Structure 1
Amino acid sequence: MGFRFRKSIKLAPGVKLNLTGKGISSVSLGKNGAKVNISKKGTRSTIGIPGSGLSYSSYSPRKKATSPQQGQPLQGNKTLGLINLVIIIVCLIFILFAIFK
């Protein structure tokens, strides 16, 4: 097992920058109850009830576009995209509430 390096830097209330040995790994937005984690691999949205252990998480991997010569472009799951959009909006509301509190 090798050594790992991981560090989180708080940029603002509800906004963290996550670093690893290879550079920036992701950006986290939100607080307890609603979070969005955006990385090179994709976006994870989590919403839950703080202190209860009950939460819902969805993951939306980044999709690489295909050229017209290779076939049909990739189509994403529209429902998953809508859920992620709602969770992102809720996180932004939490952040704005925390900043202007």
Structure 2
Amino acid sequence: MPLTFRKSLRILPGVRLNINRRSWSITLGGRHGPRRTHSSTGRRTTSMDLPGPFGYRRQSRR
């Protein structure tokens, strides 16, 4: 089994810095509302959890 590295640090309320082996990203937003993620690889994601087994996610690249 390969070794993996992943770390998530809470900078401010609603702001997280996510670090893994290849890149880093910043997530803005809380658990229950919409979230925006900006990655160092150029990927931008907007997501939101909806009640039940539903969710919304949209990705784009620079």
TM-score range, shorter chain: 0.7 to 0.9
1:19 counterpart residue number: 19
Query: After TM superposition, which residue ranges in structure 1, 4 or more long, deviate above 2 angstroms?
Result: none
* TM-score normalised according to structure 1 size: 0.52
Deviations 1:17-52 (A, max 9, x none): 001234x51111111221111102310101232x52
Name stretches of at least 5 consecutive residues in structure 1 with no aligned partner: 63-101
Q: Between Structure 1 and Structure 2, whose CA radius of gyration is higher?
A: 1
Q: Alignment identity in percent?
A: 30
How many residue pairs align between the two structures? 60
1:9 has 2:9 as partner = yes
* Structure 2 residue identity aligned to 1:25: W
Calculate the aligned-residue CA RMSD, in Å: 1.7
Name stretches of at least 5 consecutive residues in structure 2 with no aligned partner: none
Q: By percentage of residues, which structure has more helix? A: 1
1:57 counterpart residue number: 57
